[in-house]
């Protein structure tokens, strides 16, 4: 009578189980990588949306200034920028960092940093970036690096206001933190020019 012996069956089942375990492990690793990639994409989309929203709003505004409300140019850089929006409201953006701002940024841990926005002249601030986005504050480093660089807030010539249109360079650096061990660094830069000509 022909057939399989018990040892042959045990060896076959062991090989099959080994192959299934390896394949399942690879499938679970691919699934986890896909979830992390989707999370990273969602956070980067939030960051891009925040930067685009900020740029659009600044472009249609006027009376640019930085450093404080009522300041002027900041060719050397500042982490505070304000302007008057098209509807007349006072809008300001600020880079905040440090453990004292953990509640504002919605972040935990030792690495805290986010971009906040005020639409009521600085009375209240709301985070513009997602909690997973940690924006770095390099203003204390050497050489100092800031988020906003403004030139032309005061027209150079009343006869040629177009050449003196305010221009803001926005530099954002930081990291997307999905887990303590998984971080993706980023550097973004954009330039915004006031759309309405100064008269």
Q: Is 199 contained in some domain?
A: no
Q: pLDDT tens across 100-153, in order?
A: 888 888 888 778 889 999 998 888 999 988 888 888 888 777 677 888 988 887
Nearest to 121 by CA among 84, 146, 153, 95: 84
Tokens of 168: 């803001």
The per-residue DSSP string of 142-161 comes to SS---SEEEE-SS-S-SS-G
Q: Greater confidence, 98 or 115? A: 115
Q: Is 125 contained in some domain?
A: yes
- Say how many domains are in the chain: 1
CA distance 49 to 29: 30
- Tally: H helices and E strands in the chain: 2, 10
Q: Is 48 contained in some domain?
A: yes
Q: Are 174 and 151 in contact (CB under 8 A)?
A: no
Q: Greater confidence, 17 or 186? A: 17
Q: Is 198 contained in some domain?
A: no
Q: Are 175 and 39 in contact (CB under 8 A)?
A: no
Question: Whole domain around residue 78: which residue ranges?
Answer: 6-193
Q: Is 1 contained in some domain?
A: no
């Amino acid at each position: 009578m022909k057939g399989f012996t018990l040892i042959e069956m045990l060896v076959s089942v062991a090989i099959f189980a080994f192959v299934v375990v390896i394949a399942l492990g690879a499938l679970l690793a691919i699934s986890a990588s896909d979830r992390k990639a989707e999370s990273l994409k969602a956070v980067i989309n939030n960051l891009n949306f925040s930067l685009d929203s900020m740029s659009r709003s600044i472009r249609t505004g006027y009376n640019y200034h930085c450093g404080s409300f009522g300041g002027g140019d900041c060719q050397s850089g500042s982490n505070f920028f304000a302007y008057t929006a098209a509807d007349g409201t006072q809008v300001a953006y600020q880079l905040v960092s440090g453990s004292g701002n953990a509640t504002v940024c919605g972040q935990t841990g030792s690495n805290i940093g986010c971009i906040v926005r005020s639409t009521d002249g600085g009375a209240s601030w709301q985070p513009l970036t997602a909690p997973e986005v940690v924006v770095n504050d390099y203003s204390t480093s050497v050489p100092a690096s800031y988020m906003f660089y403004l030139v032309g807030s005061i027209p150079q010539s009343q006869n040629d206001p177009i050449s003196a249109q305010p221009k803001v360079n926005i530099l954002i650096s930081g990291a997307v933190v999905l887990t303590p061990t998984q971080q993706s660094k980023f550097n973004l830069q954009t330039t915004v020019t006031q759309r309405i000509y100064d008269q």
